[in-house]
Structure 1
């Protein structure tokens, strides 16, 4: 029976795509493949990922700098996540308080409503480009996601960038997390050992460049992992 490591996450733009592909999936394949494990991505809404992790349905998922004590945290950042707010140009946005009472769209499966300290009306969507089209039609007020993913979705929606404003909220490190089991510790130890190896050999940087990640973004991730 083949040894596998199941990575559970929703599809996320160019980072996690169908067909066991995407930047983050490709990195994790190179983390686990040399250790004799086949990395398989399984689509799981983020709101169900922790339960899937704890029940053994998946072996790892991503978490953004939380203080969860019921999981094992990988030591190294897999990606930098720049949370941002998109609005129509001319819409007043002066900070998080501007979201209060507004219709805010984000990808299905994420839990921005509990993450952000303001009350708003959530509009979950399965596709960011559809959310941006709703923003263009003024059926919602704001869209929240990673800044790069918002830009990708805007291109997919074929709408002019001059119509929108993207305002960064915070830059956070995305880590891999694992269940607190012997197998979870094994997968975490492999991850914690392999990421520095891939950085030192240049393999991680090569994968990122193959996915058209800018040198500035690569340096940002390397700096986060040097701390």
Structure 2
């Protein structure tokens, strides 16, 4: 697998970190499939930009809360692209609020999207990834350090990804497949804008005193997806501006 003949699936690739990652992988020479839930227009816009790099691209609708779809989209992507070298588990949802305010339905949906869907995508990828492939999941710095009140459900769900990453790296290592977890700090996205009502506290919690950009996170994901990162596996890599340093 060279840097210019790879294929990748980026879940939640129509906006934010997912879109930046899909574009960076394409710029580095990969054909890319990306998933979206509702915003087909945004997904199609990313596809057109990828095609502008001279790479193949496809947008696949997938609600990660649907167990069958969460694993099935990996097979769809591999079939559409002819093979699969990189899986980026980016799709996720974040519900914040007092712990006493979450309903059982809230808990079920967050765990379905942030935990179950990632596991099912990894299970499918274990069948479809080429030897020497990559699995990269997106977590959060809030699962490593104390965040503000209201993050209990989100942080709990993302913490599960560390428990998945390490044994999966052992299980797939004999095929040269690496499995890693990226832990971003505050990143300027539509879901968590740098000018939002909770931004000042997040900014103050970083050593650099600022939000990260989606491109900075995408650059780390692209490195972990590259041949140069072939000896990095089973670990958490933090890109958080020195959050709570």
Same fold per TM (> 0.5)?
Answer: no
Greater fraction of residues in strand: 1
TM-score (structure 2 length as normaliser): 0.33
| More RCO (CA 8 Å, sep 6+) | 1
The structure with more radius of gyration:
1
TM, length-normalised to structure 1: 0.35
